[in-house]
Amino acid sequence: MDTGTMVKTLQDPMGIPFYPILFQFLMVLTFAVHILFVNFTLGLSFLAAYGSARGNEHWGGLSRSLAKATTPNASLAILFGIAPLLFVQVVYDPFWYASNVLSAAWALGFIAILMLGYGLTYVYYLKGRPGRGAGFGAIGLLSFALFLLAGVIMHVLGYQLLLPEKWLHWYIEGNSVNASGTSLHAFQLPRFLHFVVPSFAMTGLFLMLYAWYFKDRADRDREQLAWVAGTGAGMAFLFTALQALVGVWWLFSLPPEFRFFRDPFFLVAAGMGVSLLFYLYRARKDPFRYAVPSSIWAFLTIFAMSYSREALRMKYVGRFGYSIFDHKLNLDLGSTALFFCTFIAGMFIVSYPVYVAYASGRTAGQYTASPAMHRWGSAGLALLLLWIAVVAGLGIVISVKNYL
Amino acid sequence: MYPIWEVPHLSAGIVLALIATFHILPSHLSVGAMWINVYIETKAYRESRPDLLEFVKKYTLLLLVFAYVFGSLSGVGIWYAATVANPRGISGLIHNYVWGWATEWVFFIVEVTGIFIYYYTLGKVDRRTHLKIGWIFAVTSWITMVIITGILSFMLSPGKWPETGGFFDGFFNQTYWPQLFLRTAVMFAISATYAVAVATRLKNDEAKRLVIRTASQWGFAGLLIASGALFWYLKALPEASIGLMGMIVPQGLKNGIFAAWGAMLAYFLFARLKPLSIKLVPAIAAIMVLFIGIWSTERTREMIRKPYVISSYLYSNQVIGKDIAPKGVKAEIARINKEGILRVSPFVPDGLREITDGNRLQAGRMIALIECSACHVLDKTGLRPLPQMVKKLNLTDAAVAGNILTALGGFPYMPPFAGTEAEKAALAAFLVSLNK
């Protein structure tokens, strides 16, 4: 059985409920958000540990805030990891499942490692006090190391997926098989680094945003905030420059027949990356002013890079005649509408607590909401109840039709 | 067919079951906790009882760390375990219910941002705003259950889906409503049990008394309603599942359900009458008792789905057993019987595709790995080990073993053997070779 036939054989016969291009778009978009929070989590957990090790006035104060910020960022990284994980299984099912089963023990180890790493961030934050010593600081470093190890595993699973021509070699030994799932089979250093190095650039931007966010609060130390903003801007520029070099390394390590340097997705992403670098160079002069626009541009660059990564994946799998656009379509408009309506409602509902958090963080002392804010919250709650009513109504109608 | 992940002694399926079992503890806490929390917080404001906010803070922290670190990750862990234990099963579910899961994920966004904001803004925003965030979070958490119940119940009783292929026909299947009521009622009992445990750590006795009394009332009522919903659920089960309940579900599991139910009712009653006498250790023991009850119920639900992983569609060994005409999906048994499992599966050594005298036992082992290992380990000990089963049946003759394989499809809980006659003979020879 040749590789192309093998992949076709593995494909789920059930088809997909909407056009593949939509799943691809959602996969790329949610992956970009996911990797943004992964970057924050890695960078923040490292800087929190680094800061407490440095222990001087600037770093000591910042370290606690970074440890606190690591926890929601880790949660958001997990949360936004769920969506691309779902969509990749819709359009790349043969690749994702085969890659995972071939390293099954590691795929599950990934979860255990994340639990430990994430659990430790809470220990580090909740039990951390100034002067706890190097031993305690090691907990922070260990949580960073575990997050990084989880990244290694995810990188391998994502890379093995691209190499179906090697799957049988990894699994079959003579006339028997190695079904233990205990090996990691493929690793590509520049690709891995291209996901990790930006953690420090993005965390630099996080520091700039942090300083910008608190700058109008009278109870905050201006001098400390200026130091945070300056340090962040320096980090963002330096590591973006490093990232550009890693990108070139990765580009040269790709199979030459892909001619990826001519791919339009790549060209757009690379162009945005270079322009980001110039922008960050300027941002160092006034990091408070540049914090928000540079972060927006950085996210758009990540989004373009994510599309470029997807274009690369299409080239890898295209070697065997696989295209997500050949999927069998079993159109299901009802469930598609359910998702999109819920998504719009959900964004409205979540905007309320997010705005409350934003506003209260900028207020020294207790934040008191305006009547308009209360109406916003009530509307969100009403929307939730409406969702329940509509879905329950639909369920009752279907149950009556089918069973009574 | 994907490669197989073979876990010595345990089987990949048991690894999945272990993770899923652990997940019950934080996930049921996460869906129910906020209802108690918001109730207590409201009481604290209305009756000017700031002492009660100590409970709110502690309970939310438990929720934040236990449910949203270990609960979230073990939830993803179930998915990963299903991916490596039964990739075609999870793939079949996802290709039908991707929008269901995506819808669930939207509510996860509200939930996850909600818990952090609720925890960190307690005392930092005005009361009305904080309560509103709490209510949004509580309702959202429950909605995640409304959605996942549709997919879980679909796996056991797919309703009209095999005929129509419709998303909602499978979602609102015959066991959906009773299961939703059952889970909702149990959710209150679970969050009440945790609330009692948290309340034992409160410094203020008045606050402790009030929280334990309230929680035990909620828990008691939840269990009573759950018992009604359980009967409704049992009545709604497909006939085949009811048959399996008597046939293969061990008495121990049934006892586990009823003993835990009785013990928890007594516990809540006692806690209601003597709230201050409850200490942390017995309160944690109560969580464990509850856990035994839920574990027994969930295991039973898994067992009465046999021989399928998705009822009326996919067998537990990942072979498609039935046509799903509206989706254009064909059953695979006939094709595999004609062409051979060793030929249609890509992940088979080339040297085993043609069975010879020289490779018969290896080929037999390969077939056992593909078709049997989901439920029977090939080791001497562990989950329903094949060597022990052939010893029990005293299989010494390959022809007799072959006859048993032919008859498998007649057992209500076993998928039929899929493969050519030569493959059946190879598997039979392998089975007999285990009887040493």
Distance between CA atoms of A125 and A69, rounded to whole angstroms?
A: 9
The structural domains of chain B, with segments of one domain joined by +, span 12-237+250-299, 332-433
- Residues paired with residue A177 on neighbouring β-strands, in sequence order: A172
B159 with A395: CB under 8 angstroms?
no
Please name the residues between 363 and 402 in chain B that touch chain A, using a CB distance below 8 Å.
Answer: 365-366, 369
Q: Tell me if A115 and B351 make a contact (CB, 8 A cut-off).
A: no
State which residue of chain B sits closest to A109, comparing Cα positions. Answer: B77
| Mutation site, B19, B58, B119, B125, interface A, largest A CB count within 10 A | B125
CB atoms A367 and B126 under 8 Å: yes
A59 or A193: which leads in pLDDT: A193
- The verdict on domain B332-433 having CATH code 3.30.420 is no
The neighbouring-strand residues paired with B320 are B314
Residue-wise pLDDT for A230-260, tens only, equals 999 999 999 999 999 999 999 999 999 999 9
What is the C-alpha separation between B3 and A211, in angstroms, rounded?
51
Examine the pLDDT at B211 and tell me if it is beyond 90: yes
User: Are B116 and A75 in contact, with CB atoms under 8 Å apart?
Assistant: yes
User: Omega before B26 cis (within 30°)?
Assistant: no
Q: Are strands B308-310 and A176-177 parallel, antiparallel or unpaired?
A: unpaired
Using pLDDT thresholds of 50, 70 and 90, give the confidence band for residue B21.
Answer: confident
Distance CA A279, CA A57 (A): 30
- Cβ(A22)–Cβ(B99) below 8 Å: no
Q: Which pLDDT tens digit goes with each residue over B198-209? A: 999 999 999 999
Q: What is the 3-class SS of B230-247, one letter each residue?
A: HHHHHHHCCHHHHHHHHH
Q: How far is CA B133 from CA A343, B37, B41, B111, B125, in A?
A: 19, 12, 12, 10, 11
In angstroms, the Cα distances linking A383 to A356, A370, A389 are: 18, 20, 10
Q: Please list every residue in chain A whose beta carbon sits closer than 8 Å to the beta carbon of residue B232.
A: none
CA distance B338 to A74: 51
Please answer yes or no on whether A398 and B177 come within 8 Å at the CB atom: no
Identify the pLDDT of residue A307: 97
DSSP output for A85-119: HHHHHHHSHHHHHHHHHHTHHHHHHHHHHHHHHHH
What one-character DSSP code corresponds to residue A267? H
Q: How many Cβ atoms from other residues are within 10 Å of residue B435's Cβ? A: 18
What pLDDT was estimated at residue A130?
Answer: 66
Phi, psi of B324, rounded to the nearest 5 degrees: -120, 85
The residue behind tokens 């069973």 is A403
Average pLDDT, chain A: 96
Helix (H, G, I), strand (E, B) or coil at A369: coil
In the predicted model, is pLDDT for residue A134 greater than 80? no
**Cross-strand pairs, B329:** B324
Complex prediction ipTM = 0.97
**pLDDT confidence band for B387 (50 / 70 / 90):** very high
Taking Cα atoms as reference points, which of A305, A176, A282 lies closest to residue A236? Answer: A282
What is the residue-wise DSSP string for B143-196? Answer: HHHHHHHHHHHHHH--TTHHHH--HHHHHT-TTHHHHHHHHHHHHHHHHHHHHH
Q: Tell me the C-alpha distance between B303 and B305, whole Å.
A: 5
Alpha-carbon distance A59 to B353, whole Å?
64
Unique residue bearing structure tokens 């305690």: A136
* Per-residue pLDDT at A47 exceeds 70: yes
- pLDDT tier at A48, thresholds 50, 70, 90: very high
Determine, for residues A360 and B125 on separate chains, whether the beta-carbon distance falls below 8 Å. Answer: yes
Helix locations, B352-397, DSSP H? 360-371, 386-392
pLDDT of residue B25: 83
